[in-house]
Every structure is written in C-alpha cells, then in structure tokens.
Structure 1
C-alpha cells in the first residue's frame, strides 16, 4: 500500500461489549459521491489490516468502508475470560457497530468473520443491504482443511499464542512473506488475547446458522472464494452457495486471502453486487 493510500485510512474507535474496538475507516475521496457504507469483519488470527488493500479502492468506488478488530483481537480491548468470546458476543459487537454507523450497510465477513456475520444477519436482517461471505465455508467441523477445533483449543490452552504462530509457520503461511509482513503477523498474534483465540476455536466447534435459516433472512448473499488452497474445497463452497441461494465469485489461483491476493477483482465483484441487482458477480 502506498503512503498516499495509507493516509486515507483513518483509525477510529468503536464501542464493543467488552470495551473499545479498534477500527479503520476509509471514506470516498473529494468529488466522489457516497453510495453506501460497508463493514468488513476479519477472521481467526486476523484483524482490520487484512482489508488494507481493499478499503481504499472500495472507497474510490463510492463506498464508506469500516473494518475493525474483533474483541480481544490485535488492538481491540477484551477480557481474559474465555466465556466472553462466543458467537453471540461477537455478533452483538457487530450489530452494535452497524447501529452506530447507520444502517443498512453492506456486510463482508472473511473466514470466521463470516460465521459472525451469518449470526448477525439472522438476528437483525434489517441492518444489512447485502451480505458477502469471503473464503468462509459452511463450518469448521467437516469438509475443511483445518485440524479438529477441540484439538487446537487444547494446544492453545497449553502453549498460548506461540502455538498459533508455530501452526502458521508450520503450514508455510509465513514463508513467502517479506520481513516487514512477517514481523507484523508475529506482532499481531502476540497482541491478540489468548482468550480470544481459545474462544474462537471453541465457537468453531459449533455450527453457525444453517444455510436455510440464513437464506430465509432475505438478505442478498455473495459467496467469494479462491480455488487453490483455501480451507474449503471449491466444490464445498459451490454447494454451500447453492444452499444459500447466493451469487458466486471464484478467484482463480488464489487461496484463503482473496482480499489480499486479488483486491481489485474482489472490489469489482463487490461493487457489481452492491449496485446492480440484476447483474451476476463475475467468475474470474
């Protein structure tokens, strides 16, 4: 991200149920009319920075964009009580954020952020104009390339953030990164509260709202995913999208982070989805 782009992202503080949530806001530049507000929710071990390449280019297209660290994640406040990190508390934070920004908004949930978003959409569909699941499959209990969540919970309880860092390194997730990015990811993991990590993994041991329930909420849905090395295979995403009655965007040669690997293409699909009810999201 260039310095000029970075300067357009403004830190903000949002109210969460466990304290302040660290957020980023990026508004359309002067001369560009605002066409709506988008809220982007990161996943397990993630943060608002996962959307650094996406926020400014969505803002250029006329959308006020807000991303935030979930409770106990990176720069957001949170308790050390594992019981404070449930799908209900995460989704309540999201609902509170949207209400404070002014509804309805376009909602984007990446990975576990999609689980949180699904719960919020079912609880308060009136708050959302559209809903996008980005690299976020049906559940973490089957058809996923992730260790059993109960096993991961035990490892984190025993070894804390270092275990999570070693898991990322062992999976090769840090090998291709430049030094600055690697150092940031290391800092982020160790700034995230252990209770957040344990709480999310506990939450992953339950199923999010069923596709039929999400579909019945009546909010238009887009499912976007990479076809190479995501946690869920393409056929799993495809089946999930059909159950949701969702549009589909496939990012060729991309893994679990299309928001970082193909931000321009993700932007194009989101803008089409958000602005043209008759158009289909492109398959890239």
Structure 2
C-alpha cells in the first residue's frame, strides 16, 4: 500500500476533474507542457496522491504532469458492479484520458497495478504515446506470497464489501510492529481513501494481480518502436527485481533502479525518481 510522501500539493498544482469520453476522473496536475505531458496511473489501493512528490520537480523540468484516480478509485466515481473494472475497460479509460489531455508528446507511466493497466492500453493502441514507463511492475501476476495476501483480501471484500471500515481495521492490524509511525493526518487520509474506493474495483483488480499472464511479447509486437523504461526500487516484495531486469531486457527498455527504495520509489525517493523520469523523457524528445 503506497503512502504519499506528504499530503500538501505544491503551490502550482491544481485539482480538477478531467472530462473524457468515458466519464470524469479526479486528477492532480502541475506544470506546463514545455517538453511534453506525463500521465501517471497509480497502483492497487493507491491514488493520485501517491505521485504528489513528483509533481513539483517534473513541472520544473518542463513537463505537464497529470496524476489520475482511476475509475472507482478514491475520488473518481465508479459503479457497484464488477464488469467496469476489467483490465481492458481500465485500459480504455487510459486511452480516453490520453485523448482528453489534448495534443503533444504524451508519456504514460503506470505504478504496480497501474503498469498492467497502461501496458494493456498500449497493446490496444500505442499511437497516443511518446513513451511507456513501467514502475515497480512485472511481466505478469504478482509473486506467490502477494497472491496469497491478495486472495485473502478479495475473499474479505466479497464477504464484507459493505463494511469497509472493518476490513480496514483488520488490514492495519497486520502491519509490522516495527513499521515507522505515521502522522495522524496520513493515517486519516489512507483510511479515507480506502473507504472511498469502490469494493468491486478492489475485487476485480485484485484478481488481475493474481492472474494476469505474461504479455511482454504482446507489448513488443504492438509497440516495437515505442521508447520504454522499466523503473524500480532496489528490492520489491510484489515482483522480484530480477524479474523486472529480465523484463527490461526482453523489451529492449531503459532500466533504472532507484537506490534505497522498494515498491514505491515515487513516494520513497521522489526527487531521484523525478530526475530519472525527466532524463528518460528528455531522451525521447531528442530522438
């Protein structure tokens, strides 16, 4: 579960609802598209706030940065049924968001589950994108330990999805006892984000995490000339870093490891992560 590095937006950032052909999506945005636009898609149980630390440095580097809550995620509305959260439906949402952002170079990034979503979007139609970044994402399903944890959460949601506070309390009771303390503001935000997310979104996307096949060959065939980056921390409990190394080799992608971070380099070391992203996107512009 990603924890934003802070909750206060930089002064130049703005919050609004992005209108698209597939509905409205809550976004945080910063910067002007001097060098291009970046669309950032969060992971499972996450939200646009996971990218707060990236907004200011990427805007300073000349990018319009747009972080999105997906359908049924935090502040973006979604129905209480399962079919709208299938991977292909969420991929269509990303393509609609891309269209809603207008013309110009568009770099798309997906974190964790978001990486599987943006991959499906690019496989469906790579034309809107100048580059693809897969952050802390593997080629297919999550590792066995995470599959077991996710199956337990799905079962709880299926049985008790109308009682999200109880599930939240049970989840937090499993936190490591030596975990760093959170501020009351962060604890309140994370609980509120959980309660605002549609249970069916968590159920269906959880199933995606435990069942998604390896689609790297599909991505290579669909977008052979698209610039690609695989970015991760030094270790990762969701997909082994060695698996991401191999994925980058298969894709012919650039590879960046952010020192001292794990599954969420965007939140754990935002300055270093933003510098790596800006350097990659700048290289795409020069090609």
TM-score, normalised to structure 1, is 0.88
Measured after TM superposition, the shift of residue 46 of structure 1 is 0.5
- Equivalent residue, structure 1, for 2:278: 271
| Residues 201-220 of structure 1 aligned to structure 2 (within 5 Å) | 201-207=206-212, 210-216=215-221, 217-218=223-224, 219-220=226-227
Question: Which of 6, 31, 51 does residue 27 from structure 1 map onto?
Answer: 31
- Equivalent residue, structure 2, for 1:41: 41
- SS of match in other structure, 2:132: strand
Structure 2 CA distance, aligned partners of 1:199 and 1:2? 28
Which consecutive unaligned segments of at least 5 residues does structure 2 have?
1-5
Measured after TM superposition, the shift of residue 164 of structure 1 is 5.1
- SS of match in other structure, 1:73: coil
- Equivalent residue, structure 2, for 1:10: 14
Measured after TM superposition, the shift of residue 203 of structure 1 is 2.4
| C-alpha distance 16-143 of structure 1, shift in aligned 2 (>3 A) | farther
- Equivalent residue, structure 2, for 1:126: 127
Question: Which of 243, 252, 255 does residue 245 from structure 1 map onto?
Answer: 252
1:69-90 deviation per Cα after TM superposition (whole angstroms, max 9, x unaligned): 0001111010000121111111
| C-alpha distance 254-244 of structure 1, shift in aligned 2 (>3 A) | same
| C-alpha distance 99-34 of structure 1, shift in aligned 2 (>3 A) | same
Measured after TM superposition, the shift of residue 140 of structure 1 is 2.4
1:17-65 deviation per Cα after TM superposition (whole angstroms, max 9, x unaligned): 764211111124xxxx711000000011111000001012101100001
Structure 1 CA distance, aligned partners of 2:147 and 2:187? 21
- Equivalent residue, structure 2, for 1:90: 90
- Equivalent residue, structure 1, for 2:174: 170
- SS of match in other structure, 2:141: coil
- Equivalent residue, structure 2, for 1:110: 111
- Equivalent residue, structure 1, for 2:234: 227
Aligned 8 A contact 2:133 2:228 in 1: yes
Structure 2 CA distance, aligned partners of 1:185 and 1:254? 20
Measured after TM superposition, the shift of residue 172 of structure 1 is 3.4
Structure 1 CA distance, aligned partners of 2:34 and 2:144? 40
Aligned 8 A contact 1:18 1:71 in 2: no
TM-score, normalised to structure 2, is 0.87
Structure 1 CA distance, aligned partners of 2:259 and 2:133? 18
Structure 2 CA distance, aligned partners of 1:239 and 1:7? 40
Structure 1 CA distance, aligned partners of 2:7 and 2:194? 24
1:160-184 deviation per Cα after TM superposition (whole angstroms, max 9, x unaligned): 3343553355143975322211111
Structure 2 CA distance, aligned partners of 1:164 and 1:88? 28
Worse-superposed segment, 136-145 or 206-215: 136-145
Aligned residues: CA RMSD: 2.5
Worse-superposed segment, 61-70 or 144-153: 144-153
Which consecutive unaligned segments of at least 5 residues does structure 1 have?
280-284
Structure 2 CA distance, aligned partners of 1:169 and 1:239? 35
| C-alpha distance 145-202 of structure 1, shift in aligned 2 (>3 A) | closer
Structure 1 CA distance, aligned partners of 2:185 and 2:254? 36
> May I ask how many residue pairs the two structures share in their alignment?
274
Relative contact order (C-alpha < 8 Å, sep 6+): which is higher?
Answer: 2
- SS of match in other structure, 1:154: helix
